[in-house]
Structures are given as C-alpha cells and as structure tokens.
Structure 1
C-alpha cells in the first residue's frame, strides 16, 4: 500500500512539522472490534525520539471488551488468567495524515501484532488484510466504497446523555432527501466535515439529505479496499468530533428510532493487478463477476454477523424501508440485498445489508471471502429478482436477530474455512456478550407497557 495522494504526510515531512513547532501531537490508533479508533496521543518530541522507530504498545484487552470498555469473559486471546498483556501498535506509515480539525495534530493508523511480532488475527485490519492477500494471490485487487448515513442533532453529546438519548433536537424537522434548502440549514456542519476530511487526505464527493429527520450522508470516492476501510474509521471519528466542537451530536446507529434507519451500503469490485476490468466482458458481465456475486449471496446468511454486528442492527430490516429483507440480487433494484450497478469499468456490486454501525474491515472482508468462495467453487448465479423483493416468498431471508446471525456464523464451515477458528470464535463471543447484556436490560418498551397496566 502507498499513500493515496499528496495530502497525506511522509515521515520526513512530519519530522519537519514537529521540529518547526507546527505539530506537537501524534495519534497512534487502530480500529477495534466495534469499529472505533482506539490508541494514544504522543507528544511530538517523544514520537520523533522513540515511537517513530520503536512504536508503542497497548493492553490486549482492547480487542476483548464490550462497547462500554468492560472486561468480559469468553475471549481466548485476553483474560485475567492470561494476565492482560500487551500488543504492539505497528504504524502503517502510508496512512500518516494531518487532523486539521484538531490543533497541531497528526494521525497514523496501526496494525496490531503480538510481542513476538506475529499478527493478531482477530484485529479487524488483519482480518481484511488476510482476504486481500487471497485476492492478490489471484492477481487481482479489490476496490471499495462505503456510503455512511448518520443523524445529526442540535443537542450536544453531554445533553443527549443527560436526556437519556430521548427527545433530542434533530437538525432538520422533515424529510430532506436531496433537499438543497434542508441541507443548507445544516451546511456549517456538513461543510466543515467535507473540508476537514478532504484536508486529511480523503477524496470527498459531496453531501446530501436523507429521509429521517436530521439524516444526512457524506460520500467519498472509491479506493482500494484497505484505504476505504481506513478512511471510513477516521471519517466517523472526525465527524463526531467536529459535531461536538459545534455543540451538536451525530449518531451512526443503524436504527435510532422508528423512522428510517442509517445504512452503510458497500460498493465492491475486483480489478486485475494490471488494471484489467475482470467483472466485464465486452457488453456483459463476466463469468467471474457472476461467480463472485453468487458467492456473496450464498454466504450472506452465514456472514450477516459481520455485516450487522449489534442487536440494534436488525431493527433496520423491515419491508418497505430501503433496508433489505430478502437475500437476492437485482439490476439497479434497491429492494434486494445485492444491487448490481454500472457497466464496463464502473461495474460493481452494492451490498445493502450493512448499517451505519458496521465495522468496515469485517464487512469488506466478508464480501471478499464470500466472493472468492463463489469463484473457487464456480457457483452459478441465480436468476435476477425483478420487482419488489419485499414481497418475494421464494428466497432466503436476511437473519432478523443478532442471535440468529450469531448461530449461523459460528456453525458455518465456510466462515471457519475463510477466517479461521480464532476469528470466528472471537466474534461469536462478541455477539454473546452483546446478547447477554441486552437480555439483562429492562427497556423503555417494557416500562411503557407494563408499569401500570400489568
């Protein structure tokens, strides 16, 4: 991997900026199981004198906690019995960039390795790299783009907490899908996110309104799959930080309320390492393209846990919601789980299952693993679904609960062959932790229905 453009930094340029006093903080970060950036802020001088050559370390519990950072049981890699030792953060210098919305700060994203320098297989970045290596072994590269939706509120994160995340003030009070007026009202926030992420090295396309009150999407140009996943994680963090700086809050929850959920459609294609278009032959899809899509569909139920990792993820899957319920493909058909768009060099598949809470590394890795399964086994692509997939009774349905997705994933021979037992068992336990927590919770729904009436 090389830096995608000249808006990224080189280590020599970073040294110059630190020695000139223009940069005083360097963030070393990795993406955790929940898709969040975690890591350390290092003083610039310490970074030059030590971390630039030797890196840094962090507790291995960072890949074995729940979303509240509680240590939990069931993880083979990290526990009280194992002593909660360290992992090394190994910077990928091709990801070195400025964070223009934070004073005098740069960021580099890291891989995780054990102290003997062997990769940590459960790390999301390693999970994706493993699949990219398999693609490269077939003389191909993967290109991807993620389309993240979010809901923005005029309420600060602190006030949202005090309000119990209820009755927040969305930045729009009506459906602003494609509305110029509706987005203009939010332009101070959207413009700052667009400009800051561009300055941080991302290729920003634009912003548009969406359907839920206060819902918006900022789009980015496709790139190689690892760059897209890296940028996805940095963008989510930057968007929340910029919103907080303006006294606002953003949520990427898959389903914040009973209106439209927030999706993360993932576009994916393969190219030859020589640049050849392998998804298209003359005026039609190539056999390899059809086999790839067939593999993604064949593994969709098995891999749904990697597309929809939380209890809340499954609230999106409802008829007529633009979130899929049916595992099928269609040509430019937004009711299907897989939508095929474009021709020739632009030919690509869109996976419409993931929501805004997805971990991009895991989801893209799952799509690649599924597609390679289809190619290696020369799977035949089923006929296109024409019409409304929500009313089609003849296709397998997307799992409707985290528990169902968990069971299918952990029992899947294809998943274990693709990712290995360590990874499958690790993310099965992540689902178990979430399910135990949810099963123990008393919800607002229960209180409203039961407090007086029962």
Structure 2
C-alpha cells in the first residue's frame, strides 16, 4: 500500500524500469544535518541487485561536519574503528518520482549495522523510536512543517564566488501575503509546487514572507514520519529546482539582520484509528491529555533546544519582537510564545515556533514527542496561558547560544531518559564540532571592525 496514488509500489517501479521510463534510482537517507545523502543507481542494476537486498554506505556519513570532514568524538565511527559500512535499508513506502529530474525515482532508507541492528543515532531511527512509544500507548502523531526560504536571482556558483554577500533577492521589499510580490517569483514557486505534488506531497499554498525574497510553500499535515520524509525531499528538491532556474535559495535560520527563516511545526496526537484525543466535543475544549502533552513540551523546551536549533547561526534568529520566540510560554493563538495552540475539534493542535529553517525535522519532531509523551506519563499540569506580549512577560527563555543549548542537552536527565545516552552523546558531539569550527573562524565582521580601527 502506498502513501497516496502519486507514490509508486515496488512493482510499479520495476514496470517503469522495464519500460525504460525510469533509468535512475536515488537511494538516500537523511543525515544529522538534515540532508539527503546516498547514491544514484542505474535502474537495471537497482532492479536486479539492490531492490531485494539494499545497499551500503560508509558509516562516516553519521560522523562528519557540514563540509564532510571526518571529525573526532563519535562512538560509532572513527579511524580507529576503520570507517566500515552501514546498510541502507530501503523503505518501500517512500518510492516516489522526482519529476524535476529526468527518468528518476527516489527511495528513502533507514540505516542498520551489518548484523541488521538499527543505527540508533540515525535521525529516522530516533523519530521511529518515539513513534513506537506513542503506538504502545495507543496513539499516533500527525504533523506539518512550515518551512521558509529566501530566494536570490544569483546562481549557487555566483553566490559562492561572492562569498554569499551582495546577492540580489528575488523581491526588493516585504512581500508578506503580497500577490504581486509572489507573482514576480511565480515561475520558481510554481515549478516547486507542481514538482512536489507530482512527487507525492500534498501541497497547500505558497505565500510571501517578510524578509526580502522570502517565501514559504506549505504542505498538508500527515503522519509524522511521512511529514519528515517529505520535508527532507522538499528541501533538497527546492534547491535543485532553483538551480535549474538559474537562481538559488537558502533555508539558513538567519541570513541577514532582517527576519530569519522559521520552521514552525504543528503537531497533534490521534488514536491509532484516527480518534480525536486532543479535544473534548462535549466540553468544547482541550482534553487533559492535550494539556499534559503541551506541559511536557514546555517542561523540556530548554533541554531540547539543541534539536530545534542545531547550529551557531540558529541562535541569531532568536530576537525579541521578531516573531521568533524566546519565552518558554504557551498562548491561545499567540505568536509571541514558543508554543501556540490553535484550532478546535479535529484541527486542535500545538505549534512549536522555536525551530528555524535549518532544523532536522526528524530530530525536532522526535524531541516534541519525547517531551509530550513524558508530560502525559507524569500527568503534568499546564500553567495558565500567557496573554499579550510574551517577549516582555518575564518568562524563562530558550537558551540563546549554541553552547548554552549544548550544556542543557548534554546534562538533561529528561533527554537521556527519553532518547538514550547513545543519542544524547552523539548529538552533543555534533554541537561540539560546530562550536569548535566557529570559534576557530575569523569572520568578515571581525575584519571590518578591526582591520583599520583597532
């Protein structure tokens, strides 16, 4: 059974390979940084040798920095361990066409060790573990991610050559909800929307945002694993389509001093047969389960900020009065709070406004489930909502630097109890790698400030 009628079964894929309409199959997993990594296989080779068996990749892929440099500190991969292989385990529910690429299909993968045991540090495995915990209690989770980007007229090659400065955004003014502003970018936006629909995603809309050249393409909510899978594919495909148009786009959390790129995550629990568990129709209000779930999210927000904001740049987005939250607070339809509750009935859901566009969706959703389920298990009571401006409420704030978030995560009893020591230690090391690289870098800001005047 496929996720929808635009996904392919393995039989559909083989038929298309036999007919010659598919000549390339991409097999990929999502790495720590949220990127698709894998191989392009000739379709006939895939059909004859990989479909029934999977393939392999070096285990250093879960132990490198953003530049693909091997780094120290990871328990699962190192020079001492010999940099062996991981198995790419094909998830046949994820077969989809990539219509922006000729004759190409994609399959997403889980990761396993050669003995068949799962690689628990893999983002997809981390999310699956929380999905399993929810299922044991009779629930499943559905989510949607709202991912913003800034698009530029420059190609990626031109952006690289210029040091990513002096680029021309596709809009020169704030185009939030502007039809004229989005019309100017419609060739790119339309290409992305239609390609993603044909790739099996349920596209909702495109809208302008506040920063110059900033836009958002929205997708319908789905089961959390499907949402994270779609998010990873969309993020890669959007860049590829921009490149095909001679343009570029970035999902980095804070490109410049104006508004950053957010990735608000909407999430709710359902019964395993889609029963509504967050809303009481008779009382016309939240259930106690919903309140405890949100209380758990708030209780773990500081400890898990590292998984919502994984990079040095992520924390530049946390600015008062910027629609990026700083206060660990919840409110009814209040965008100044870290957690915003919206909807009613079947649409009742919580919105986590902390993550930025650089977030790894598997890790962020796993963190939300871990904290929410813990809140239910402990019967946490939800504090009263924050009214008005949460920025000036005096509420505790999320960690404001990567180092502070790293310390909170590494020393968190909650994180270690819900995710496990192996996962916490792995992603603590990822933060250490990022911090070490940043602290050794001399920035343009330092040169401008100090070259002559200091």
TM-score by length of 1: 0.99
Query: 2:197 aligns to what SS in structure 1?
Result: helix
Equivalent runs, 1:294-333 vs 2, <5 Å: 294-333=295-334
Paired position in structure 2 for 1:101 = 100
- Show the counterpart of 2:183: 184
Matches within 5 A, 1:46-65: 46-65=45-64
Secondary structure at 2:302 match in 1: helix
Separation in structure 2 between the aligned mates of residue 25 and residue 358 of structure 1, nearest angstrom: 29
Using the TM superposition, give the Cα deviation of residue 176 of structure 1 relative to its aligned residue in structure 2, in angstroms: 0.2
SS in 1 for 2:176: coil
For 1:115, the equivalent position in structure 2 comes to 114
1:142 partnered with 2:144: no
**How much has 1:3 moved relative to structure 2?**
2.5
Match of 1:233 in 2: 232
Secondary structure in 1 aligned to 2:449? helix
Indicate yes or no: 2:380 matched with 1:384: no
Match of 1:412 in 2: 412
| Structure 1 partner of 2:156 | 157
Structure 2 counterpart SS, 1:197: helix
Q: Distance in 1 between matches of 2:443 and 2:393?
A: 33
Give the drift of 1:21: 0.8
| Equivalent residue number for residue 356 of structure 2 | 355
1:25 maps to 24
Deviations 1:400-438 (A, max 9, x none): 000000000000000000110000000000000000000
Distance 2:33 2:290 in 1: 31
Structure 1 CA distance for aligned equivalents of residues 349 and 80 of structure 2: 47
Deviation at 1:54, TM superposition (A): 1.2
Q: Counterpart in 1 of 2:166?
A: 167
Shift of 1:274: 2.2
The Cα offsets for residues 138-164 of structure 1, whole Å up to 9 and x where unpaired, read as 111100000000000000000000000
Shift of 1:276: 1.2
1:79 aligns with 2:95: no
For residues 355-400 of structure 1, the C-alpha deviation after alignment (integer angstroms, 9 at most, x for no partner) is: 000000000000000001100000010110000001111x210110
3-state DSSP of counterpart to 2:4: coil
2:201 corresponds in structure 1 to 202
State the secondary structure of the residue aligned to 1:82: coil
Equivalent-residue separation in structure 1 for 2:384 and 2:303 (angstroms): 21
In structure 2, the residue matched to 1:70 is 69
- Aligned residue for 1:14, secondary structure, equals helix
Q: Which residue of the partner structure matches residue 436 of structure 2?
A: 436
Cα deviation, residue 88, structure 1: 0.2
Cα displacement string for residues 47-80 of structure 1 (whole angstroms, at most 9, x for unaligned residues): 0110011110000000000000000000000000
Match of 1:401 in 2: 401
* Deviations 1:328-360 (CA, angstroms, capped at 9, x unpaired): 000000000000000011000000000000000
Q: In 1, distance between residues paired with 2:17 and 2:279?
A: 48
Note the residue ranges of structure 2 that are not aligned, 5 or more in a row.
Answer: none
Helix, strand or coil for the counterpart of 2:396? coil
Moved more, 8-17 or 26-35: 8-17
Once residues 18 and 345 of structure 2 are traced to their aligned partners in structure 1, the CA distance between those partners, rounded to angstroms, is 49
- Aligned partner of residue 301 in structure 1, secondary structure: coil
Paired residue for 1:131? 130
| 1:42 counterpart residue number | 41
Q: Which runs of 5+ in 1 are unaligned?
A: none
Counterparts of 1:245 and 1:5, CA distance in 2: 27
Aligned residues: 452
SS at match of 1:65: coil
